């Protein structure tokens, strides 16, 4: 499995430190309130599990699944809701938790969609941000790490469903995905 990896980009202990910092910042901002944390399956699950355990405010959890990448390393640009929320979010303080913002298409769609449901507030937290790849602007309120334009896996992030369980965030070797698809900078 590690033979598929170029190198570690962010090690487990550095992720943990940053997650604690984000948890403290969010707890301060929502002091005295209850927060509905919406995790975006599947990639955000591991980050969300660690993040919410760093919050010292009342929290409820819900999940959505949308799909834009599938078995590829390039966004299809078409975002579909595969699993919707169970909670009515009208009047609630809502925080969307994502693993990564790349083109921004997923979060842009999610933000627009959830705003139509009347939350009292809606903010976005992402562990990773790839600003160089943005196709649409998305305001991110809590940002873990800004990373270069590399395809990363681990800590919830996958390629074709694999590598989510790895404890670090690692850069995937190009030959892992270049052999399977026509991706930018695969020439």
Ligand X SMILES: O=P(O)(O)OC[C@H]1O[C@H](OP(=O)(O)OP(=O)(O)O)[C@H](O)[C@@H]1O
Ligand Y SMILES: Oc1ncnc2cn[nH]c12
Active site residues: 102
Q: Does 170 bind ligand Y (CB under 6 A)?
A: no
Q: Does 69 bind ligand Y (CB under 6 A)?
A: yes
Dihedral (CA of 154, 158, 159, 162) sign: positive
Residue from the set 157, 166, 170, 176 that interacts with ligand Y by CB under 6 A: 157
Q: Pattern of binders to ligand X over 113-152, x per CB under 6 A? A: ----------------------------------------
57 burial via Cβ count (<10 Å: 0-12, 13-18, 19+) = middle
Q: Does 171 bind ligand Y (CB under 6 A)?
A: no
Tokens representing 182 are 């026509």
d(CA 187, CA 73): 15
Q: Does 145 bind ligand Y (CB under 6 A)?
A: no
DSSP three-state, residue 10: strand
Q: Which does 105 bind (CB under 5 to 8 A by kind): Mg ion, ligand X, ligand Y, none?
A: ligand X
Strand partners, 129: 101, 146
Q: Chain-centre distance of CA 15, in angstroms?
A: 13
Please list, residue by residue across 20-48, b when 16 or more beta carbons sit within 10 angstroms of its beta carbon and e when fewer do: eebbeebeebbeeeebbbbbbebbbbbbb
Residue from the set 152, 166, 170, 176 that interacts with ligand Y by CB under 6 A: 152
- Cβ nearer to ligand Y, comparing 69 with 145: 69
The region of 10-18, 137-145, 152-160, 174-182 touching ligand Y under the rule CB under 6 A is 152-160
Q: Pattern of binders to Mg ion over 37-56, x per CB under 5 A? A: ------x-------------
Tokens representing 48 are 């969300």
- Cβ nearer to ligand Y, comparing 52 with 126: 126
Which residue of this chain has its Cβ atom nearest to ligand Y in the complex? 102
Cβ atoms of residues 128 and 99 within 8 Å: yes
Q: Interface residues with ligand Y (CB under 6 A)?
A: 69, 100, 102, 151-153, 157
Which residues of this chain interact with ligand X, rule CB under 6 A?
40-43, 67-69, 75, 98-106, 158
């Amino acid at each position: 499995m590690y033979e598929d990896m170029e190198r570690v980009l962010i090690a487990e202990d550095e992720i943990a430190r940053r997650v604690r910092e984000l948890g403290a910042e969010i707890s301060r901002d929502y002091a005295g309130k209850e927060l509905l944390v919406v995790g975006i399956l599947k990639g955000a699950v591991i980050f969300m599990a660690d993040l919410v355990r760093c919050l010292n405010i009342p929290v409820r959890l819900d999940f959505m699944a949308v799909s834009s990448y599938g078995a590829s390393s390039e966004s299809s640009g078409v975002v579909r809701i595969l699993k919707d929320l169970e909670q009515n979010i009208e009047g609630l303080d809502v925080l969307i938790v994502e693993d990564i913002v790349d083109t921004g298409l997923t979060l842009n769609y999610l933000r627009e969609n959830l705003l139509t449901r009347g939350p009292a507030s809606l903010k976005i937290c992402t562990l990773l941000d790839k600003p160089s790849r943005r196709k649409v602007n998305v305001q991110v309120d809590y940002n873990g790490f800004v990373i270069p334009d590399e395809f990363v896996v681990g800590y919830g992030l996958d390629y074709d469903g694999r590598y989510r369980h790895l404890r670090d965030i690692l850069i995937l070797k190009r030959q892992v995905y270049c052999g399977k698809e026509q991706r930018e900078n695969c020439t």
